[in-house]
Every structure is written in structure tokens, then in C-alpha cells.
Structure 1
Amino acid sequence: MNDPFESYNARFVDPQTVAQTFILRDREFTSLCEQTNSLLIGPRGSGKTTLLKMLKVGAQIAWKNRTQANSLRRFNFCPIYVGAERQLDIVVGHPATLKNRSSIGLLSKALLSFRVKFACLDTAQEISNSKLRDIENMSHQFVELTGKEASICRSLSLVWDLGEETLSFLEVRLRLYWQLSEMNRYLARIKYGSEISPEEIMKEAQYLSHDPVGSCESFISIFNTVIDQTAKSWALCVDEVEIMPDDLQNYLFACFRSREQRLLLKLATSPYSKIDWQGLGTDRPTAGSDYTAINLGFTTKHDSKRNDARRFSSQLLEALIQHEGRLKKGDKRPRGTQVLGRSPITEANTSPDQRDAYKPENGIHYLRFKALIERDIGFRQFARDRHIDIEKLHSGSENKRASQARKYIWQVACRLEYGPTNQFVRPDRTIGDRPPSRKAFADIYLGYDSLLTMCEGNPRITISLMRPLVRRFFGTSRSIPLEDQSSLVEETVAKFVSLLSTIRVADPNGQLQDMSLVDLMDTIGKYFSGEVNGPEFRPEPPLTFKIDKTVPNEFVEALGAAINQGAFIMLSDESGLFDHGSIKDARLRFSYLLCPLYHLPLTLGSQVNLSTILKSKRLRPSRRPLTQDDLFNRQQT
């Protein structure tokens, strides 16, 4: 199926275009530019590829931003960018490859070596472009290769086993393409049933045994010697490490303990990996010593980066408005709040009418609390027990409002929509009950404030959600009605969930068949929904869970895949770091984008062990493909 977020995927965009749409994350980009090894960690769409591509010289040239000058002075290393490679997907996992595992491992490494070699040539041509010499803040990257290219290529012919002497980068490329076609011949033989040993391959094609990082180191040694800059530093930037075979992932992480001081290693990967981190031994690389971990998620255990995420998504929204409106310099640009309108729930102190929100008779929070007290027996009892007097909240201090009301705003709003019973007074003064709403996207999830929160600072999600809304705005020149927002957002979420449903989950007991990640999500989501919208009002309902040690490995792997896709968010410590690889003992929450499906607040909540959830809610696999109606009309049982 089509990926719903491919509308913006930097993998398929050239560096120049990436630069034109780049929104700077200063702290992360500064860290990436340091003269040290780096590990970029983030789920899909979080901007890993964009940040790595922004190191490329071609992107730096095109980056027209007022902070450009300072940013480009931050590093002197030459970046060698290696993108993702899925060529082996057609072979790896094929039944015929089972008897050729060692050979497939050899060819996987050889393919990465080819990618590195081509990337080295790309960088050499970028930094020797004479136009670079005249660009302010970029001239330090320029290298004069007139009369030197042939010498470099002759040496590469030897160390890269090209088979014949080459005198230009073009000739080197042609020899590499020939070698690559020979490798494809071996892959085709394996695919169609031949059994080939690594020894046979290396005997016929020694170049297929080349080490990827070793190939880069040999290029650097030759290049620096020829240009007479022996200390010149480089950075090998490898993207989407998580899609590589496990052996290659282990290999690259081990290379953080590099032997070549002139070569930095900058890897980008997802939070979860099945690599054997501990298996790398006592000499395994460690964060802070051998590399700097850079977490691209705006998530900490106390949600302290929530405003940073909103600010970044807001900047991206404003850039979309500028682009989609084709606005010229001097044109008046609509603000995001004009396009989407304010949300029924706004973040504390971000709305101009926040101070009046608690005032009787018309304050928005006052009306919401008053309505729930009248309708909800559980909340009425809670307010009585906590001595919450909604008639006096507006006159108290901000700290008192925070402790008595503000922290419960989202829960109150959810229970008004989805609570167990909504009592009302009939004309004859008798009490009646109305059933809770079954509308998945209630108004509380719509509008500028809530939609920015649901974007969570993820560029791909932000663009996927906001671009259709912005286009609708410029088509009508008026704020997008909430019902139109609802239909567009529902469509995006439905596509995302449909993608997640393709991730299979094995039943640890072997009793259930055809389980998908969505079945596991439903179990967790319905548990949380019961805690939020059940008969009893819970002041701090659990909205996060810990993957405790009793959770079966089958579920751990499924949750790891969900984290990498962005369905669940891993909460790290306040430094923004967490151990890459295993997620045992990790604390997770739903992506805010998925919270409307289960009628949950866009807040952090307390923690519960996943094993507790699994014991209380029985997994029930879906019997048929999900539809959009299934998602947005489901009963929360």
C-alpha cells in the first residue's frame, strides 16, 4: 500500500530542494556539526535524513537562511552522504537464500562498500567545483584538483581493485558500475536456486570482500596525500541504518571505535533495533565516549519539550502557508490561527483569553467544568472531595488554578464527549441520561492548538496533516471549518493505521492467528480509554505503559516496529537520550495523532505495566481488513 506520509520524504528529494524547505533545529544541528561521531535517533519522519543531507555541500550552497553563515562555519569536515539501499530486499528473505546466508552477508557488505565508494566520488566532485571558491562561508570547503584528479584515480584503481588503470572520476565510476553488475549476477544466481560459497565469490571477485569503512579510509588517505592536506577531516554519514541486515548494523555501530582519526562516523537510525548491542562485547562503543547520541524526538519523561515540539511544527506550518499561498516578499501572510482557528482547548497561557477562561458565567473552562459536574456523578464526587469551587477559581492564584483545574482540563473535555453517562434535566425536572458521543474526532482534537500538539514536531506528520488544510484555506480564503478539518485529519489517520495493520504480531501462545499491530494497539487503547472515561473519575489516569520483563518477546518486537513507525513514543530521560536497541523497561505512550481513536487526552498521564494491561484485556485479532468506518465508529469496550 502507499505510505500516507510519502508526500514528504527527504529520501527522494535532492539536497538542494531539502535546503529550500529546511527548518533549523539549532541544538540538534549544532551537535551534529561537532567534530565527533554522532548517532541520530528518531522515528520515521522525524527529520533524520533531512539533517544528514543538510551536511552535504550541495545543500549548504542552496540554504538561503539568515542563520546560514553561522551554521556553515560550524564544521570543517567534508561530508560523505550514503543513502538507503533496498536492492537486497528482493533476495534477502527469499527461500533460496537460506542455504546462502554467508554469501548474502558478504554481498550485503559489498553493496554497502559500493555505496560508500560512489558517495566518496560525489563528495570529491562537489568540493572541487570552482563555484564553491567564491561562495562566502563555503570557500573553506573548496579543494583545487586541477592536475590532481588523474593521480587520485590511478591510486584508487589499485586499492579498490578496479582491474585497470583509471585517470578520471568518470572512469572510476564506470569500473565500479561494471563490478556492481558482476555482483548482481551472483545475486541472481542465488535467487534462482544456486548455492554459492563466499570462498567462490572472493576467488572470482576479490573486490566484493572490501570493507565499507576501510574503502572510505583508503579514499581519504589517497585524497589527502595528493592535495597535500594530510590532516583534512571527513565524515561518513550513513542514513537509515535500521533497514540494513543485522550484521551490517552491528558492523557500523562497532565502527564508532574508529581507527582513522580523520574520519568521523555519523549514523541515522530508528529507536528500536534487534541488533545484539551487548554482543559487541566489552569493547562496544558507548554514548558520550565514542559517539554523541542525538534524539530527534521532542519527548522526555516529564513532557518538558512539548512547547519545543509545538514551536517547530508552527514554524513548519508558517513555511507551508508561505509556499502554498505563493506569497511574495511584502505580501501579508495569514497566520496559522487564521487558517485553522483556535482549538476549544488551548495550551496553558498560549491563548489571549486564558485569564478569563475560568470566570463565571461564560469562561470556556468554567462552562466545561460546570457541565461535567452536572452530568458526571464520578467527577461531581471528585470535585466535592477536592473542595474545587468552580465559582471562585478565577479569583485564585495561577498555582491554585493549576492544581485544582488546569491539570484536569483535557480529562474533563474527554469525559464530556465520551464519559459513561451524560445526565441532563428534562423539562419536567426529572433526570435523564444521554449516551456518550461516538464521534472519534470531537472538536477538542481540532483547531490550531490541538493539531500542532498532535504533530509532535514530526516534519512528515506536520506536512501530511497541514498541507491539505492550508490548500483548502487558499481555495476558500476563510478559516477551515472544524467539520472539514475532521474529515481531512480522519483520512490521514486512517491511512496511517492501515499501514500499521500490515505489521504482523505473533501470538506467544500460538493460539491466535492473523494478529496485527492494530490488535495490540486496540488492547492498550481500550484499557486507557476505560481509565479516562470509565465510571470513576481518575485524577491521574494511566496513559503511558512500561514494557516490563514479563512481556513476551513477540510483543516487544511488535512494539519496537510501532515505535520506529511513530505509533508509540518512547519517553527518554531529561537529557533526551536513551539506550538505542533494546526497549525492555522503556516507558511508552501513544502518538498524540492516534489518541482520538481511543478518546484519550493529549497529555502524558501516569504509568502502568504492559503486563497489567494484557492481563485485563484479551487480545482479539481482526477478521477482515480495516476500513475508515471501522476506525471512527468503533465502540470503546
Structure 2
Amino acid sequence: MEFSGSLKASNPFENDNARNSTVEDLPKQFVWTKAFSRLISAKNHIVLGARGSGKTAIIKMLSHEYLSKLNNKEAVEIIRSRKFVGIYVPMRLSWVGGLKNKVWLSEAEHERHFQWRLNISCCSSYLATLRSCIDCYSENAGQRALTERNIAERVGKSWFGKDNIYSIRELRETLADIEYEKLLNEQRARVDSNVTPESVGAAFELGLFEPLKRAIDVTKRFIDFPADVAWAVCLDEAEYLSKLHHIILNSHLRTFADGLVFKITTMPYKHYSLDTNTSVPLNRKDDFTYIYLDNIDVAARGGKNSEFESLKKFCEDIFEKRIKDSVWGGSGISLESLLSSSYLLSNEEKVDQDGMIKLIDKYANDRTKRRAHDLLGTKKFDDEIGRKLKGALLLRDFGATHKGNSRITAYSGYEMVIRCSDGNPRRLISLLNAFYNASSETSGFKPISNATQDKILRLYSFDEYRRMVFEPNQGEKIYDIISLVGKYFKHLLHYQKLGTDMTLSFRFNLNDEALWGVVADAIGLGLVRPMVERSDYETLPVMNGVFRLSYILSPHFDLLPRRGKDVALSTILAFGVDRGLDRGLTFQQMDLL
């Protein structure tokens, strides 16, 4: 796996956030999934996903600009058919954050201001879509230039009342000038009652999405689209908006005006309301559908083996897409060849029955010991005892025999890395980036030693664990509850006798809305996962349900990245109380536990 060249090749894993990806690189790196296919339709969708789950990558790729660059048979057909045109609209903090600062505005004024800013943002984003449509559907350079001139002239007249705009560039520049002048007038109006901000950019004071729909209508006069074309407004990161803003958007999800549909991304539990500006709330499945990214595709419904196979394929696809255009493209390099297999998790890494029975006698409970000795020497021993207990016994033994800073290799192997990534693209890419940077090779990406993998996974796990303290609002509370849950599971795995069913999940069984809010926020951060595969894959539980810690936290707590059986959260809280901790936990106290 060595490559020629005196300098170390460019790192294909450096960028782990689609927010920083461009139209040149994201289509080459994108992995097509079933969830993505479902979004390409004339339906309203709200896409739920934890931090790093790929929401921005998916919503960007829905846009015509990005989709038209994707080398994929389905994508080519969608662009050719002209039946789906996506417009990517990011909720930029530069203006969304400013909405919360205008405390002097009444609710009606606040709504009008939000409407104006979102209209501007949608129209600005539409210009990238317009550019892509003109380029894709013009037969030659002459037709391309004429179509752009005709559309720009009429859109300029509609938006700005000007007759001398003939290009998309001029539209973009005029839009930026209008936005700046409007904001300036709003500030002047606070001290000078003679200034009327409404006089600037009047077209964007119309109803929400009206200027966008006008631009689409003009576009359809010069570019042919089928009558059933869906124009998808793809709004990213709606968790930054307020409940009022969600109510405003919900009102538009109830209609199918001029072929406009909505694809909105937000974190789990961050679609703040189903209310609308009318007396009728949104009706799920009639007006819109949720798509939960964290479990679609990767949490397979066919059993544990197929779940891992789905995870494995997803991770391998991401890896292959990343290296395809690098110096390793076509080299045959794979995740498995880089990381080897996991001694703890691989079914191929066997421990003979004599070795297993010694560990069972040392660490297992009496019932498991009796069962193991009864089956010793038979195939059932491997199927019913060895397969279920191997990882836990080896991990327990690692912990008992490797003290202090001694180098161990428990958290290594491609099965372990795939499990710990949890189907989270950003997490996987960040780990691959760390593995790449750990290599001292100047001309190649060589297999990573088990000791290096273990060190990187533990450091990454600890970083995920510690940084939650600094999350705004409930960071310390999230840290406290996850600390207690993780240390409870560690107590069972490393200090209690083991059985074939290990406890690695918790059941929310408390009538405590404040505590539930902490768990819900932890889910949004990708630190806790609801086990929705036990019920409805797209229905997130509220004040109930079974949950597990994200597997990336397993190295920090010395746990196996498995689901296991569940225990009541009240039992875990009692475990903390027994150790002198009350419900008012502090993260300093948790470090002492």
C-alpha cells in the first residue's frame, strides 16, 4: 500500500462537515441511501438527525445544483426528467441569530421581519438553482445566454422594479444591496420615525415564498418543465429557529401552492410545534412525513447480523468515495485491510473452549457457569455461550490484567470502528482522519496498529464525553446523566458476575419532564440513541422508550458496543443515590464517582 512521491498525499478525510463542502467535492463523496431516495418526491418531509448524521449533506444534495453533478444513474434520470428541482436554503446563523436580538419588535413585526429575511435567503439560494437549470437545459452557449438574459430581466423587474438587469450575477448583486439597505433602514428607524424600512425591497414584504414563486413562474416561461414538477425548498438546520418560526413554516406545509414542497432538517425533538397560523394543526402523514436519519438504513430490521452488514456497507461506501479520487483510488485498499479484525467483536477471531471456560469460571455467575460446563465440548457451547460472552469476558479480563497506562488493544479492528461510528458519517470521517494523521508514512496509508487504533478511539471517546459539558443550556446536565448511566453499565460489566444477557440499555420510566428534556437533548447531540427499531422506525418516543448510549462512548466507559437488555432509569438513579449523589448532580461530582 505504498505510493510513490516524496510528499505525503493530500488527506481525503480532512473535511468531516458538509457545511464546508462544495459543489465540486460533495457529489463525489456522497453515498446514496434509501432515505435520500424517499426525499426525492412531491411530498413534504421533516428530516430528523443527530449532530453529524449527514442532514446537511443530504439536503444539499437534493438541490439541482448538487444533484446534477452526481454520477449516479438515478440522479441522471431525475435531472433529465425535470420533475424535481431542489433549492438549498441554509439557516445561516448570521441572520437567524439576529432574529432573537430584536427584542423591541412586536410579535407581528417579528413575524414580518422573519418573513422578509427568509424571502431574501430563498431568492438568493434560488439563483444557484437557476444557474444550474439554465446550464443543464440549454442546448448551446447561445441559448444559455439568451435564456439567462430573458429570465434575469423579468425577475429583476418583479423583485426590484428595474429594467436593466440581464444576468444572474446582476440579480445576486442587486439582492445583496437591497438586503443591506433594508437592514440599515431598520436601524435608522429606531431613532428616526421618518425612516420607513418597508419602502425598501417591497417585493420581499409580500407573503412568505411569494417572491420565490414569482421567480419560478418566470423561469417556467423560458425553460420547459412538466406540469407535475416539484419545486422543493430545502431548509437546513431549522433547530436554530424559534417555535414561532416553526408555526409559520408549518402553515405552508399544509398547502401545495404552485408545486412548492418543503424538505426541512432539524435535530430530533427540535420540530417545536405542529401548530399553524390557522386553527388546524399539521397532520402527520397527511401534511408531511418524518424521516429519521439515525436509524434508516443502518438499523436494519432483519436481525443483528444484517444490522452490522448494513453499517459495514455504509461505512465502506463512505471510505471508498473518499479515497476514489485520491492517490489510493483503485489500489484495492479497504477498511478491513487498514484496520484488521477486532479480537473482541469478530466472529472469525475464535477463543477455544478451554480458554473460554477459564474466563467463565473467573467472571460469570453461577447459572452461566453451570450452563457452560453442561455444554462444554459441544457446538452449543460456541453458539449459546461463547458467541454471547466472548467480547464481554475478554474486555473484563483486559480491564483486570492491564492497569494504569499500559498499552492495550481492546478497542481496535474494523468491526469496532464501524460499531463505534454508529452510522454517523461525521464521526466515521473524523476517526479516519485521526488514523490517517497518526501514520508517519510520507508516501502511503499503511495498516494502523491495534495499539494506535485503541489509543485514538479512547481519546476520541473521551473528547466526545468531556465536550458535552460545554454545550449551551443543558450541557452539564447531559454530562451528569450520561456519566451516571455509563458508570452504572461499567459497574455491571466489570464488577458484577456476568451472564449471557448484559445490561447496556436503559428504559425511561419516570414522570419527570426536566429529566426527559436532558435525554432528548442528548439524543440530538448524538450521545444517546433511541431504540426505535423496537417500535416504529420514524416515531421517536416521548417520556418513554428504550435507549442506549452512543457506541462512541464505549471506549471511555470500557463497555461493549452492543445494545444488551435494558434496565429502568430509576434503578440507575438509585445507583447514584447509593453513592451519595442526588438528582442535583454536578459534573464535578460525577468525575469523583
Q: TM-score, normalised by structure 2?
A: 0.82
Instruction: State whether residues 503 and 516 of structure 1, in contact with CA within 8 Å, keep that contact through their aligned partners in structure 2.
Output: no
Name the CA shift for 1:125/1:91 in 2 (closer, same or farther; >3 Å).
Answer: closer
Find the counterpart in structure 2 of residue 112 from structure 1: 118
Name the CA shift for 1:87/1:477 in 2 (closer, same or farther; >3 Å).
Answer: closer
Q: Give me the identity figure in percent.
A: 19
Instruction: State whether residues 151 and 222 of structure 2, in contact with CA within 8 Å, keep that contact through their aligned partners in structure 1.
Output: yes
Superposed, 1:354-365 pairs within 5 Å as 357=350, 359-360=352-353
Tell me the CA shift for residue 492 of structure 1.
Answer: 2.7
Find the counterpart in structure 1 of residue 27 from structure 2: 19
- Secondary structure of the structure 2 residue equivalent to 1:126: helix
Superposed, 1:231-630 pairs within 5 Å as 231=227, 232-273=229-270, 275-277=272-274, 283-297=280-294, 298-299=298-299, 305-322=307-324, 326-327=327-328, 329=330, 332-348=331-347, 351=348, 357=350, 359-360=352-353, 367=355, 369-376=356-363, 379-389=364-374, 391-393=376-378, 395-396=379-380, 401-418=382-399, 437=403, 443-473=409-439, 475=441, 478-504=446-472, 515-553=476-514, 555-573=515-533, 577-579=537-539, 583-617=542-576, 618=581, 620-623=585-588
Name the CA shift for 1:214/1:43 in 2 (closer, same or farther; >3 Å).
Answer: same
Find the counterpart in structure 1 of residue 88 from structure 2: 81
- Secondary structure of the structure 2 residue equivalent to 1:444: coil
- Corresponding residue pairs, total: 565
Tell me the CA shift for residue 308 of structure 1.
Answer: 0.9
Name the CA shift for 1:262/1:13 in 2 (closer, same or farther; >3 Å).
Answer: same
Name the CA shift for 1:603/1:219 in 2 (closer, same or farther; >3 Å).
Answer: same
Instruction: State whether residues 78 and 234 of structure 1, in contact with CA within 8 Å, keep that contact through their aligned partners in structure 2.
Output: yes
The reply on whether 1:125 has 2:131 as its aligned counterpart is yes
Instruction: State whether residues 415 and 533 of structure 1, in contact with CA within 8 Å, keep that contact through their aligned partners in structure 2.
Output: yes
- Secondary structure of the structure 2 residue equivalent to 1:556: helix
Question: How far, CA to CA, are the matches of 2:487 and 2:143 in structure 1?
Answer: 64
Q: Could you report, residue by residue, the CA deviation over 1:500-543 in whole angstroms, capped at 9, with x for unpaired residues?
A: 1112566xxxxxxx934222211221122223333232543432
Tell me the CA shift for residue 462 of structure 1.
Answer: 0.8
Tell me the CA shift for residue 176 of structure 1.
Answer: 1.8
Question: How far, CA to CA, are the matches of 1:276 and 1:247 in structure 2?
Answer: 9
Instruction: State whether residues 570 and 589 of structure 1, in contact with CA within 8 Å, keep that contact through their aligned partners in structure 2.
Output: yes
What code does the residue aligned with 1:382 have? R
- Secondary structure of the structure 1 residue equivalent to 2:92: coil
Tell me the CA shift for residue 408 of structure 1.
Answer: 2.8
Tell me the CA shift for residue 67 of structure 1.
Answer: 6.9
What code does the residue aligned with 1:467 have? N
Name the CA shift for 1:291/1:121 in 2 (closer, same or farther; >3 Å).
Answer: same
Name the CA shift for 1:622/1:228 in 2 (closer, same or farther; >3 Å).
Answer: closer
Instruction: State whether residues 40 and 268 of structure 1, in contact with CA within 8 Å, keep that contact through their aligned partners in structure 2.
Output: yes
Q: Could you report, residue by residue, the CA deviation over 1:326-374 in whole angstroms, capped at 9, with x for unpaired residues?
A: 1355xx33332222121112344xx3x5xxx25445xxxxx2x334224
Question: How far, CA to CA, are the matches of 2:346 and 2:404 in structure 1?
Answer: 25
Find the counterpart in structure 2 of residue 41 from structure 1: 48
What code does the residue aligned with 1:327 have? W
Find the counterpart in structure 2 of residue 179 from structure 1: 178
Question: How far, CA to CA, are the matches of 1:280 and 1:386 in structure 2?
Answer: 63
Tell me the CA shift for residue 484 of structure 1.
Answer: 1.6
- Secondary structure of the structure 2 residue equivalent to 1:589: strand
Instruction: State whether residues 343 and 449 of structure 1, in contact with CA within 8 Å, keep that contact through their aligned partners in structure 2.
Output: yes
Question: How far, CA to CA, are the matches of 2:146 and 2:73 in structure 1?
Answer: 37
Q: TM-score, normalised by structure 1?
A: 0.77
Instruction: State whether residues 106 and 208 of structure 1, in contact with CA within 8 Å, keep that contact through their aligned partners in structure 2.
Output: no
Name the CA shift for 1:599/1:487 in 2 (closer, same or farther; >3 Å).
Answer: closer
- Secondary structure of the structure 2 residue equivalent to 1:607: strand
Instruction: State whether residues 151 and 218 of structure 2, in contact with CA within 8 Å, keep that contact through their aligned partners in structure 1.
Output: yes
Q: Give me the CA root mean square deviation.
A: 3.8
Q: Could you report, residue by residue, the CA deviation over 1:291-329 in whole angstroms, capped at 9, with x for unpaired residues?
A: 3433222347976633312221122234445555x1355
Name the CA shift for 1:595/1:130 in 2 (closer, same or farther; >3 Å).
Answer: closer
Find the counterpart in structure 1 of residue 6 from structure 2: none
Question: Any stretches of 5+ residues in structure 1 without a counterpart?
Answer: 135-141, 362-366, 423-433, 507-513, 625-629
Tell me the CA shift for residue 89 of structure 1.
Answer: 5.4
Question: How far, CA to CA, are the matches of 2:153 and 2:325 in structure 1?
Answer: 47
Tell me the CA shift for residue 19 of structure 1.
Answer: 0.8
Question: How far, CA to CA, are the matches of 2:142 and 2:564 in structure 1?
Answer: 55
Find the counterpart in structure 2 of residue 220 from structure 1: 216
Find the counterpart in structure 2 of residue 50 from structure 1: 57
Name the CA shift for 1:495/1:599 in 2 (closer, same or farther; >3 Å).
Answer: closer
Instruction: State whether residues 91 and 237 of structure 2, in contact with CA within 8 Å, keep that contact through their aligned partners in structure 1.
Output: yes
Instruction: State whether residues 320 and 470 of structure 1, in contact with CA within 8 Å, keep that contact through their aligned partners in structure 2.
Output: no
What code does the residue aligned with 1:164 have? K
Name the CA shift for 1:166/1:284 in 2 (closer, same or farther; >3 Å).
Answer: farther
Instruction: State whether residues 239 and 271 of structure 2, in contact with CA within 8 Å, keep that contact through their aligned partners in structure 1.
Output: no
Name the CA shift for 1:22/1:477 in 2 (closer, same or farther; >3 Å).
Answer: closer
Instruction: State whether residues 503 and 564 of structure 2, in contact with CA within 8 Å, keep that contact through their aligned partners in structure 1.
Output: yes
Tell me the CA shift for residue 603 of structure 1.
Answer: 0.8
Question: How far, CA to CA, are the matches of 1:575 and 1:441 in structure 2?
Answer: 41
Tell me the CA shift for residue 228 of structure 1.
Answer: 6.2
Tell me the CA shift for residue 380 of structure 1.
Answer: 4.7
Name the CA shift for 1:64/1:206 in 2 (closer, same or farther; >3 Å).
Answer: closer
Instruction: State whether residues 41 and 295 of structure 1, in contact with CA within 8 Å, keep that contact through their aligned partners in structure 2.
Output: yes
Name the CA shift for 1:568/1:64 in 2 (closer, same or farther; >3 Å).
Answer: same
What code does the residue aligned with 1:306 have? F
- Secondary structure of the structure 1 residue equivalent to 2:314: helix
- Secondary structure of the structure 2 residue equivalent to 1:78: strand
Q: After alignment, is 466-475 or 264-273 more displaced?
A: 466-475
Find the counterpart in structure 1 of residue 8 from structure 2: none
Instruction: State whether residues 235 and 264 of structure 1, in contact with CA within 8 Å, keep that contact through their aligned partners in structure 2.
Output: yes
Tell me the CA shift for residue 59 of structure 1.
Answer: 2.8
